[in-house]
Structure 1
Amino acid sequence: MARLTSTLLGAGIGMACTGMALAQDDTIKIGVLHSLSGTMAISETTLKDTVLMMVEQQNAKGGVLGKQIEAVVVDPASDWPLFAEKARELISVQGVDAIFGCWTSVSRKSVLPVIEELNGLLFYPVQYEGEESSKNVIYTGAAPNQQAIPAVDYMADELGVEKWALLGTDYVYPRTTNTILESYLAERGVGPDDIHVNYTPFSHSDWSKIVADVIALGKDGKQVGVVSTINGDANVGFYKELAAAGVSADDIPVMAFSVGEEELSGLDTANLVGHLAAWNYFETAETPENEAFIEEWHAFTGDDSRVTNDPMEATMLGFNLWVKAVEQAGSTDTDAVLDAIVGLEVPNLTGSTAKVLPNHHLTKPVLIGEIRDDGQFDILSETAPVPGDAWTDFLADSAVLDADWPGKGCGMWNTQTESCVQIQSNY
């Protein structure tokens, strides 16, 4: 509770600093659409704070197009339909020129029809399941080929994993990601009997049978690995049950896609040490850019214990790309910004650059990290930037699709029929 209070106080200070002395007629408004209450508040409040920090820094440089930026913060309260209502309010009532927000895929899916109807612009900063490309969204988090697929390759090639437990929370991101991974593993020659899939509700607590099932996979002597799309506090019980069963990271390694520095902060990491996570950024990245970002974050929040994480970097990338596109377009108009943004590049925090692709995804490096007892990660592997793929190559209906907004004006271009599909995939 103390850490959450500190987060909210830091956010309030940031909002005050951002909003003071701004002349209403001389500002450019952006929306911040992140949950400040409810189950997602701790994760999303950090991203709200990140946007406010970026606004403060950009305003200190003179703003954009000669105007100061005003951040309009709303709280959708971890209520997925309320995300759509708040997005409509931001665009239609507040008149924002861009929105930075959403975390879960269900919140993004809720906002999507509103953004498209009103021709708004959303920068979405969290890793997701892919199978989407909207004209009105810039996806600054990882697609499956920038996280899930390379993580499986690492486990198979470096750890010798032969049998797979795909464990996830029961909603769209884990289900779609695991559907892709099942198909990918089959292409790698893994038989269906060597893949175990299980879904649990948010905040699931009784992991005894599931862990027993995972352990049983290895009775034939094959190396078992867990690919985890478990979200939220359910992770605590899962790792505790593994430890209680005497299972270490050496016995059955867990590769998580939703456990990062923020989730580990303040937790007892004794049960997690040695397990793995795949992201595009870790706070332990040793670059001048990252060192400066961490220093700026601590100065903004007034708290040197506040960690950084992957969605924060993705938020920073989205904001900097928006500023660069607005300046190049000479306008904040959605269509003008979208015309300018494809092909733009900005530095990331790991020493390379992020480039906006015609499918509205970015190039991002893939990092594999091992959890340390201090809640940070030792970086074991890092790739060159990988182009994000909106439509996976490992599902038949998606493999024939491309997204090309500047060239085709289409997010679902069927390369076989050479036509634009109008209905999104069911995955």
Structure 2
Amino acid sequence: MIKHILSAAVLSAAFAGAAQADIKVGILHSLSGTMKISETTLKDTMLMLIEQQNAKGGLLGEKLVPVVVDPASDWPEFARLGRKLLTEDKVDVIFGCWTSVSRKSVLPVLEELNGLMFYPVQYEGEESSKNVFYTGAAPNQQAIPAVDYYLEELGVEKFALLGTDYVYPRTTNKILEQYLKDKGISADDIFVNYTPFGHSDWSKIVADVVALGADGKKVGVISTINGDANIGFYKELAAAGISADDIPVVAFSVGEEELSGLDTSNLVGHLAAWNYFQSADAPENATFIEEWKAYAGENRVTNDPMEAHYIGFNMWVNAVTEAGTTDVDKVSAAMIGQKFPNLTGGMAEMLPNHHLTKPVLIGEIQADGQFDIISQTDPVPGDAWTDFLPESAVLESDWKDLGCGMYNTETKTCVQMKSNY
């Protein structure tokens, strides 16, 4: 009898050990609320990548287990569920967030508990945490090149900076305002407006944008509008009879997924700046699209943040393999210098500032909801701290040699990063 009890205990411990040996991957994306339109696809992307990795034998001989939560576009929920993922679910890594306010909500939790998160969306920069790898674009990989395109290719003389009212648009537009002034654009020729998440009445704002060009100067819109508010904005433009030839819009948060829910007939010719478009002509992209449609459905599209998760996930897999462990500090060290093919051709590399090298693409919206790529650069190194604000130009991030995300090159000291949210 004692022998049987001992055997049962040993078996129970063995099964418990096997369960604990699984590598858990937290997925922290909104599946409801205003950001559902953008984030649900990223959850699906992660599930596909995890399934594919398990088909290859998993990682370190263990199965990857996704742990999916829904913060429901409620920013404090990102912090609460991030803590749950790390303390209760015991995940080894988190892939998540879209808005910067959600990232900044969970950031203190990651740093307190030494969690690791991959953030896949373009953002305002002005941040470098040892616990986050930023696989989306920094301003010098999206916003600045978009402004340059307006100035150099379209002859835009007046700028309407329209954004959702939170940290990403406000900080990005602070950088862009200074950049435009440095380029000789008068403050009177820059119109800035912010609206809440989910904003729907765009008539006055669109009228104000039209009025900006009353003197005959060319007006261009830089859009940092996020989520489903984009639907109302583009509908109002069409209702006002404004085409891309009249007032072009370049968006930083509108991709193929957002367009798939819109009547794009009135959006043709408007622009988006990203680091990836589904229309990119590269063998890696053709394979990725085929795999995605086989997994998610023939009508599902790909987009830029999906590519960022694809690159980040594969780099994490390679870093874990190299480190021989999922230990956060060891994996983070192995992440720096990781290279992996991006989906537009060429190679992405993780820099010591936890940002990627990324090509910059300008795409023109087509009637079918896809983008005609009209401009593409060589890979640009992501800059954690902008060169266009004096207080940031002196800062450097280097987690490899300096062990600091906010190193002041003038005082030669590492300073504590302060949230701008």
TM-score, L = length of structure 2: 0.94
1:366 to 360, 364, 378: 360
Is structure 2 residue 380 aligned with structure 1 residue 351? no
Q: Which amino acid aligns with 1:300?
A: Y
Deviates more, 1:24-33 or 1:331-340: 24-33
Cα distance in 2 for residues equivalent to 1:264 and 1:244: 17
Within 5 Å, which residues of 2 pair with 1:250-265? 250-265=245-260
Residue 163 of structure 1 aligns with an amino acid whose one-letter code is K
Q: Once the 2 structures are TM-superposed, how far is the Cα of residue 208 of structure 1 from its aligned partner?
A: 2.0
Deviates more, 1:339-348 or 1:31-40: 31-40
Equivalent residues of 2:27, 2:94 under 8 A apart: yes
1:112 aligned residue? 107
Q: Which amino acid aligns with 1:72?
A: V
Measured in 1, the distance between the counterparts of 2:250 and 2:358 equals 19
> Whole-Å Cα distance in 2 between the matches of residues 408 and 238 of structure 1?
45
Aligned to 1:11: none
Please state whether the residue corresponding to 1:219 is helix, strand or coil: coil
Instruction: Identify the match of residue 81 of structure 2 among 76, 81, 86.
Output: 86
Please say if residues 28 and 95 of structure 2, whose CA atoms lie closer than 8 Å, have aligned partners that are also in contact: yes
- Alpha-carbon separation, structure 2, partners of 1:396 and 1:315: 32
Point out the structure with max Rg over C-alpha.
2
Shift in Å at residue 62 of structure 1?
1.2
2:333 to 339, 346, 350: 339
Distance across 1 between alignment mates of 2:110 and 2:233: 37
TM-aligned CA distance change 1:426 to 1:87, over 3 Å? closer
Q: Which residue of 2 aligns with 1:36?
A: 31
Q: Secondary structure of the equivalent of 2:168?
A: helix
Query: Quick one: distance in 2 between partners of 1:230 and 1:83?
Result: 21
- Indicate the residue corresponding to 1:323 in structure 2: 317
Q: 1:203 to 1:425 in 2, by over 3 A?
A: closer
Alignment match of 1:404 (pick from 398, 404, 415): 398
Alignment of 1:225-264 (within 5 A): 225-264=220-259
Distance 1:234 1:41, change over 3 A: closer
SS at match of 1:220: coil
| Inter-partner Cα distance in structure 2 for 1:424 and 1:220 | 42
Deviation, 1:160, is 0.5
Shift of 1:205: 2.1
* 1:422 is aligned to 2:416: yes
Residue 420 of structure 1: CA displacement? Answer: 0.6
Measured against aligned partners, the alpha-carbon deviations of 1:23-70 in whole angstroms (never above 9, x if no partner) come to 524421111111122222232111111111111111111111111111
User: In the alignment, which residue of structure 2 is the partner of 1:132?
Assistant: 127
Contact (CA 8 Å) 2:405, 2:417: kept in 1 or not? no
Q: Find the aligned partners of 2:417 and 2:272 in 1 and give their Cα distance.
A: 34
Q: Could you tell me how far apart the structure 1 residues matched to 2:249 and 2:326 are?
A: 44
**Using the alignment, how far apart are the partners of 1:85 and 1:238 within structure 2?**
32
- Pair 1:383 & 2:368 matched: no
Partner residue, 1:283: 278
Unaligned 5+ runs, structure 2:
1-16
* Other-structure match for 1:297: 292
Aligned alpha-carbon RMSD (Å): 1.3
Measured in 2, the distance between the counterparts of 1:185 and 1:356 equals 29
SS at 2:308 equivalent: helix
CA contact (8 A) 1:412 1:424 kept: no
Q: CA deviation at 1:248?
A: 1.1
C-alpha contact (below 8 Å) 2:37/2:228 kept by paired residues: no
Q: Deviations over 1:268-325 (max 9, x none)?
A: 1122111000000000011110010011111112x10000000100011110010010
Q: Structure 1 residues 208-217 or 272-281, which shifts more?
A: 208-217
Aligned to 1:177: 172
Correspondence 1:197 to 2:192? yes
Instruction: Give aligned-pair identity as a percent.
Output: 74
Cα distance in structure 1, aligned partners of 2:234 and 2:58: 45
AA of the residue aligned to 1:239: Y
Distance (Å, rounded) in 2 between the aligned partners of 1:295 and 1:419: 49
Q: Give the TM-score, by structure 1 length.
A: 0.93
For 1:269, the aligned partner's letter is: T
Distance 1:116 1:309 in 2: 29
Give the deviation of 1:265 after TM superposition: 0.4
User: Which residues in structure 2 correspond to 1:11-26 (within 5 Å)?
Assistant: 24-26=19-21
Q: 1:361 touches 1:387 (CA, 8 Å); kept in 2? A: yes
Deviation of 1:72 (Å): 1.2
Q: Distance in 2 between matches of 1:242 and 1:52?
A: 37
Aligned length: 405
- 2:214 match: secondary structure: helix
Paired residues of 2:167 and 2:420 also in contact (CA < 8 A):
no
> How far does the alpha carbon of each residue in 1:366-392 deviate from its partner, in whole angstroms, 9 at most, with x for none?
000000111111010111110000000
